[in-house]
């Protein structure tokens, strides 16, 4: 049976991602690779991350990223800059662009070697625009940040899917599936606890803060095998 792998927030850590995929997962064309969004920003190599995944897709690999809040920031910045009117006394950039620039967009622009977001090829924008907010599998729901269980249908709140910082699962609302998410970095001990207690919590966060400066508890990019719950790890090698 093909493996289904999930990798959390990459944040421009290209060399770390490449090593995880090729040296640890050893991805085949029969496998499915899910990514939990936030592929870009913060790290040095956002363009290279996108190029790598887009190239794997072209080669016939099953690459399935969901949208993260940083992809949403990028798309908002891109669209707002297209319509932003610069005036003599006005701001040279839209507020959406300035927000994205401050939270990691600066590093992304540098990876593309451009000063203006409009100079990024539309092919990248279209690829990001195609990212769904979630995937529903037999036993799992793949989503960037989490789901809103305070409403009748948790799958209707897209903002929460991108930005949730805490939630308590009501299993009946999602067919007793387990949520796999990232967004808020968690220590390895915390991730191990959620893996062991997944039937109690009904969610597993696998974001270990790949872009963090290396320390014992954080700073690795992980990959979770949904078939056997095996967790693979690659220490950040992009610093």
Check which CATH number belongs to the domain holding 180 and give it: 3.60.21.10
Could you tell me if residue 108 is inside a domain?
no
Q: Say what the pLDDT of residue 90 is.
A: 60
Q: Phi, psi (5° rounding) for residue 85?
A: -100, 115
First to last CA, the chain: 36
Q: How confident is the model at residue 33 (pLDDT cuts 50, 70, 90)?
A: very high
Q: What is the mean pLDDT of residues 140-154?
A: 98
In the chain, alpha helices (H): 14-19, 46-58, 69-83, 95-100, 106-112, 122-129, 158-163, 188-196, 198-201
pLDDT top residue among 132 and 239: 132
Mean of pLDDT values over 30-57: 98
Place of tokens 């910082």: 165
pTM for this structure? 0.96
Each residue's pLDDT tens digit, 217-239: 999 999 999 999 999 999 999 97
Q: What are phi and psi of 54, to 5 degrees?
A: -65, -35
pLDDT, tens only, 200-213: 999 999 999 999 87
Q: Is residue 49 part of a domain?
A: yes
Print the domain residue range for 202: 4-66+133-145+154-235
CA dist., res. 227 & res. 237, Å (int): 27
223/61 Cα distance (integer angstroms): 16
Q: What is the SS3 assignment for 22?
A: helix
pLDDT at position 87: 62
Examine the pLDDT at 54 and tell me if it is beyond 90. yes
Residue 174 sits at the vertex; the CA angle it makes with 169 and 180, to the nearest 5 degrees, is: 65
Asked if residue 113 belongs to a domain, the reply is: no
Residue range 195-202: average pLDDT? 96
Task: Establish if 128 belongs to a structural domain.
Answer: no
98: tokens are 């300035």
Lowest-pLDDT range, 60-74, 79-93, 115-129, 135-149?
Answer: 79-93
Closest CA to 134 of 122, 148, 124: 148
**Residue 82 domain flag:** no
Kindly state the average pLDDT of the residues 150-167: 98
Domain count, the chain: 1
Q: By three-state DSSP, how is residue 86 classified? A: coil
**Cβ pair 154, 181 in contact under 8 A:** no
Residue 81: both structure tokens together:
């800059």
Look at 149 and 93; give whichever has higher pLDDT: 149
Q: How far is CA 98 from CA 87, 105, 132, in A?
A: 16, 9, 25
Q: Are strands 62-65 and 32-35 parallel, antiparallel or unpaired?
A: parallel
Tell me if 137 is assigned to some domain: yes
Task: Output DSSP code: residue 4.
Answer: E
Look at residue 15 and tell me whether its pLDDT is greater than 90.
Answer: yes
For residue range 73-84, what is the model confidence (pLDDT) as tens digits?
Answer: 999 999 999 888
Does residue 161 fall inside a structural domain? yes
pLDDT, residue 213, reads: 77
Q: In this predicted structure, what is the pLDDT of residue 221?
A: 98
Residue 165 lies in a domain: yes
16-30, 97-111, 203-217: lowest mean pLDDT where? 203-217
- Look at residue 92 in the predicted model and tell me its pLDDT: 84
């Amino acid at each position: 049976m093909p493996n289904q792998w999930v990798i959390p927030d990459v944040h421009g850590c290209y060399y770390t991602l490449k090593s995880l995929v090729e040296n640890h997962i050893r991805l085949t064309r029969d496998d499915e690779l899910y990514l939990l969004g936030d592929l870009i920003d913060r790290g040095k190599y956002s363009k290279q991350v996108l190029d790598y995944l887009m190239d794997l897709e072209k080669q016939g690999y099953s690459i399935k990223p969901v949208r993260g809040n940083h992809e949403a920031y990028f798309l908002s910045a891109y669209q707002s800059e297209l319509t932003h009117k610069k005036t003599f006394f006005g701001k040279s950039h839209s507020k959406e662009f300035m927000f994205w620039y401050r939270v990691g967009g600066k590093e992304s622009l540098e990876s593309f070697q451009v000063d203006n977001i409009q100079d990024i090829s539309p092919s990248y924008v279209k690829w990001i625009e195609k990212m769904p907010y979630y995937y529903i599998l037999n036993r799992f729901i793949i989503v960037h940040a989490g789901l809103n269980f305070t409403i009748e249908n948790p799958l209707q709140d897209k903002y929460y899917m991108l930005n949730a910082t805490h939630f308590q699962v009501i299993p009946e609302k999602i067919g007793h599936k387990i949520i796999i998410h990232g967004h808020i970095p968690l220590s390895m001990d915390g991730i191990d606890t959620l893996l062991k207690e997944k039937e109690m919590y009904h969610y597993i966060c696998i974001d270990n803060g790949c872009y963090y400066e290396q320390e014992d508890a954080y700073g690795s990019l992980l990959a979770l095998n949904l078939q056997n719950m095996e967790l693979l790890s690659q220490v950040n090698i992009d610093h």
